[in-house]
Structure 1
């Protein structure tokens, strides 16, 4: 990474505007640009006014209706990466959700990446069975599944039948899975964009493509050799995420000491309902440099 190259923070948000404003305030820094995609299901009049004093802030005008597990998540990610890439040459692009928060100061995060050049992409242990079910079968009802048990059951039956009868697609591809949330270099973003058409076609009618497409692109390219940590998913992406206590767990006031002691740069997920935790963490970060 070149000296004093700016970073792009790419945020996918759909709710909890108070927390989103806190996130933006903690990223507001002259060497950061911030891009926000707000779900198209949110009415324009409900979108909050967000102000930065140091960062350039870009609220995406074109918005996608994002559905959990659906290809629309990948489309929203690509929209953010593409707009940021076309706007400037950034040292790093950090993909965050609107319910994430940094665990380190703006200055610390920037300096952490100064001499890195690594790709901060988290990889799960390889699981071929999961790949078969998620991305080698067909899922036609993903956008309807989250709140509809009938479609979830129907999807599960179809996927299992396709696996049992070996009616699988994409058998020639070695899929890898991991956290959606990454920090990647300009070179890797360029590689992602070159492969955009292929990716969107490949992952059509799959489930949870956002947890596969970046990892799979990286693994099957020269960028695999530049990954920060291939063996530890969350060290690899520098995100503190707890899947043991929730899906994922929402950090509580009692977790404050764990959060500030973490070596990771970011954490998810948070809620503005835990106001005391958010206030304590914000105060702590604003006193660090």
Structure 2
């Protein structure tokens, strides 16, 4: 039996997450769930009976921060070390499948070993991508005064890089933008994990 690994990154919407886990609860699946370290686990109940469920609560995940990549690598590594899966599905805790497990497994069996990765062509290398951004962990803080100070510091940092003509990427670097949610094979996950140090250095 070809098994699938579902890698879920969650931080709220517990009712949706509970529904998601019920819909994925199948003996052909293993579930690897990371709940943001900042989140309150009191509202989370485990209703998984058929799939193997592993729960992580290690990383304080911040929007636009490298911690998002850290949690993805953590889940990929946990699943990859446990066993060889035909597919690894990286999804959020707010996602819900629109097909049942029989249809999902039949689809991926019929398309194996295709990798399902979304991307956009024609991406421009603008300041969002080509400059170093300071304090990314604090993009969404509630203190208005601190927010203004950080905004000014970030603006000055980008301004200085533009004056110095600093570019994070070379002109010949090929950049492709897309969502982080994917369905990929064991081979792809092995490649991703073999590049872990390069990925962390880059981002």
Instruction: Tell me the TM-score normalized by structure 1.
Output: 0.64
**Which residue among 103, 107, 111 is the counterpart of 2:106?**
111
Q: CA deviation at 1:161?
A: 4.5
Q: Pairwise mapping of residues 71-150 of structure 1 onto structure 2 (< 5 A)?
A: 71-116=66-111, 117-130=113-126, 133-147=127-141, 149-150=147-148
Q: Residue in 2 aligned with 1:28?
A: 25
Task: Find the residue that maps to 1:107 and give its secondary structure.
Answer: helix
| Whole-angstrom CA distance in 1 between matches of 2:162 and 2:173 | 16
Q: CA deviation at 1:107?
A: 1.2
Q: Residue in 2 aligned with 1:181?
A: 181
Q: Report the CA distance shift for 1:76/1:47 in structure 2 as closer, same or farther (over 3 A).
A: farther
Q: Residue in 2 aligned with 1:282?
A: none
Residues 112-158 of structure 1: CA deviation (Å, up to 9, x unaligned): 1003111110011322234xx23331111111112364234542453
Q: Report the CA distance shift for 1:32/1:156 in structure 2 as closer, same or farther (over 3 A).
A: farther
Q: Pairwise mapping of residues 166-245 of structure 1 onto structure 2 (< 5 A)?
A: 166-171=165-170, 172-203=172-203
Give the unaligned 5+ runs of structure 1: 204-289
Give the unaligned 5+ runs of structure 2: none
| Whole-angstrom CA distance in 2 between matches of 1:55 and 1:137 | 43
Conserved? CA contact 1:146–1:152, under 8 Å: no
Residues 23-75 of structure 1: CA deviation (Å, up to 9, x unaligned): 111111111111100111125x53623121211111125x1000000000000
Conserved? CA contact 1:20–1:98, under 8 Å: yes
Conserved? CA contact 1:37–1:59, under 8 Å: yes
Instruction: Tell me the TM-score normalized by structure 2.
Output: 0.89
* Number of matched pairs: 196
The RMSD of aligned alpha carbons is 1.8
| Whole-angstrom CA distance in 2 between matches of 1:153 and 1:115 | 53
Q: Report the CA distance shift for 1:47/1:105 in structure 2 as closer, same or farther (over 3 A).
A: same
| Whole-angstrom CA distance in 1 between matches of 2:120 and 2:159 | 22
| Whole-angstrom CA distance in 2 between matches of 1:160 and 1:34 | 45
Conserved? CA contact 2:134–2:157, under 8 Å: no
| Whole-angstrom CA distance in 1 between matches of 2:104 and 2:110 | 12
| Whole-angstrom CA distance in 2 between matches of 1:107 and 1:143 | 40
| Whole-angstrom CA distance in 2 between matches of 1:81 and 1:47 | 26
